[in-house]
């Protein structure tokens, strides 16, 4: 009896240690490429610093691209893959407005020249997103590295997992929870909408096809809605006009996104939805009554957490040679 149970304890201890080793291997770490490609992170940063000032609007696109990558099959650069079938994530509705794929590919080619086959596209995207947002001033977040690239990209999964601007709070929280992200992460990461642009189709329904007067969504500030109809989305079918996500402050990472939400001037139903849940609303109020630095610090934690979603590490996946193509 005693022999069996001590053997059992040994087994438990041994498997515990193995699990620890396993999970240690499976973790991202700061400066993962320190010995395999010491200049990697500097090369990314230099390229971003040199080129984002010529195309500053790409910073927002990379932040969004990183999110779309992580929320479908984990942060594995699946969003970057091309296909001849037109059935990859890139082709999914929410991805049609992503910009900057060629920029990522150019960073990749610099890193392939420096250390071939070492730095993953998933890490490159995570670093480019962080470094390019930092060109707006704030915030900074840690990007532990060691992600590996996936080999599958599937349009159906992108359409199913990427939240839509028409989703309500329950659906948004479900989609985030499916990836191990919680309500706090949902509110903080939605704060990414403090920078960048959108197009009319994401908001037309709220302007032209809702239950309120003139087809306006009654949960949207009517003055804001009338203004968008008069000056931006002049017809219900406009699919080209660009809108600021955070009018007046789309280039600055700040709290104004949350202030607008309380004024019922969130652009999408999904933005407005954050005020429909009492816990979420209380957190928005907390953000607004704290210093911007509190938002930056919390946002940074949420970004680091998002960057760990279902990552492939160790010997999983591969290190692509080109970000748009699986190695053959």
Is 221 annotated to bind a ligand? Reply is: no
What residues act catalytically?
Answer: 68
Three-class DSSP category at 72: coil
| 150 conformational bin, left if phi > 0, alpha if psi -120 to 50, beta if neither | beta
Which residue of 82, 91, 159, 164 would you call a contact of ligand HEM, by CB under 6 A? 164
d(CA 237, CA 220): 19
Q: Which two tokens stand for residue 121?
A: 């596209």
Three-class DSSP category at 322: strand
Is 163 annotated to bind a ligand? Reply is: yes
Q: Which is nearer to ligand HEM, 17 or 160 (CB)?
A: 160
Which residue of 8, 39, 96, 234 would you call a contact of ligand NAG, by CB under 6 A? 96
Q: Is the dihedral of CA 76, 79, 83, 85 positive or negative?
A: positive
Which residue of 74, 139, 165, 317 would you call a contact of ligand HEM, by CB under 6 A? 165
Q: Which two tokens stand for residue 314?
A: 């160790």
Do residues 183 and 173 lie in contact, with contact meaning Cβ atoms separated by under 8 Å? Answer: yes
Specify the stretch interacting with ligand NAG by CB under 6 A; choose among 67-75, 83-91, 134-142, 249-257: 83-91
Is 254 annotated to bind a ligand? Reply is: yes
Cβ at position 144, least distance to ligand HEM in Å: 17
- For position 252 contacting ligand NAG by CB under 6 A, the verdict is no
Residue 157 interacting partner from ligand NAG, ligand HEM, none (CB closer than 5 to 8 Å by kind): ligand NAG
Three-class DSSP category at 325: strand
- For position 234 contacting ligand NAG by CB under 6 A, the verdict is no
**Total Cβ atoms within 10 A of residue 182:** 13
CA angle centred on 95, ends 90 and 96, rounded to 5°: 95
Residues of this chain, 116-175, that bind ligand NAG according to CB under 6 A: 154, 156-157, 168, 170-171
Cβ at position 156, least distance to ligand NAG in Å: 4
Task: Using CB atoms within 10 Å of the CB of residue 197, give its burial: 0 to 12 exposed, 13 to 18 middle, 19+ buried.
Answer: middle
Q: Which is nearer to ligand HEM, 7 or 160 (CB)?
A: 160
Is 297 annotated to bind a ligand? Reply is: no
Cβ at position 41, least distance to ligand NAG in Å: 24
d(CA 177, CA 188): 14
Closest CA to 168 of 252, 283, 26, 276: 276
Q: Which is nearer to ligand HEM, 82 or 166 (CB)?
A: 166
Q: Which residues bind ligand NAG (CB under 6 A)?
A: 82, 86, 90-91, 95-96, 98, 154, 156-157, 168, 170-171, 182-185, 205, 209, 236-237, 239, 305, 322, 324-325
């Amino acid at each position: 009896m005693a022999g069996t149970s001590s053997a059992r304890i040994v087994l438990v201890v041994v498997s515990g240690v193995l699990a620890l080793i396993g999970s240690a291997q499976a973790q991202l770490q700061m400066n993962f490429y320190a010995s395999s490609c010491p200049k990697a992170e500097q090369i990314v940063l230099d390229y971003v610093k040199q080129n984002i000032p010529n195309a500053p609007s790409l910073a927002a696109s990379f932040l969004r691209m990183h999110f779309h990558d992580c929320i479908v099959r984990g942060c594995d650069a699946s969003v970057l893959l091309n296909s001849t079938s037109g059935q990859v994530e890139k082709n999914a509705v929410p991805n049609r407005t992503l910009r900057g794929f060629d920029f990522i590919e150019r960073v990749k080619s610099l890193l392939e020249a420096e250390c071939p086959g070492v730095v993953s596209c998933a890490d490159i995207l995570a670093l480019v997103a962080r470094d390019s947002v930092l060109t707006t001033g704030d915030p900074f977040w840690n990007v532990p590295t060691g992600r590996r690239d996936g080999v599958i990209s599937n349009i159906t999964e992108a359409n199913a997992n990427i939240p839509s601007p028409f989703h309500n709070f329950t659906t948004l929280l479900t989609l985030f929870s499916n990836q191990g992200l919680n309500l706090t992460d949902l509110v903080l990461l939605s704060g990414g909408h403090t920078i960048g642009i959108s197009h009319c189709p994401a908001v037309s329904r709220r302007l032209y096809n809702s239950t309120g007067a003139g087809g306006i969504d009654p949960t949207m500030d009517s003055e804001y809605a009338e203004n968008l109809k008069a000056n931006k989305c002049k017809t219900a079918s406009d699919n080209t006009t660009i809108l600021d996500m955070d009018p007046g402050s789309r280039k600055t990472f700040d709290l104004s996104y949350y202030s607008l939400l309380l004024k019922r001037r969130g652009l999408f139903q999904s933005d407005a939805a954050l005020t429909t849940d009492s816990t979420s609303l209380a957190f928005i109020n907390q953000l607004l009554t704290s210093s911007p630095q509190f938002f930056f610090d919390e946002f940074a934690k949420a970004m680091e957490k998002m960057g760990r979603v279902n990552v492939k590490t160790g010997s999983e996946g591969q290190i692509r040679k080109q970000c748009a193509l699986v190695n053959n």
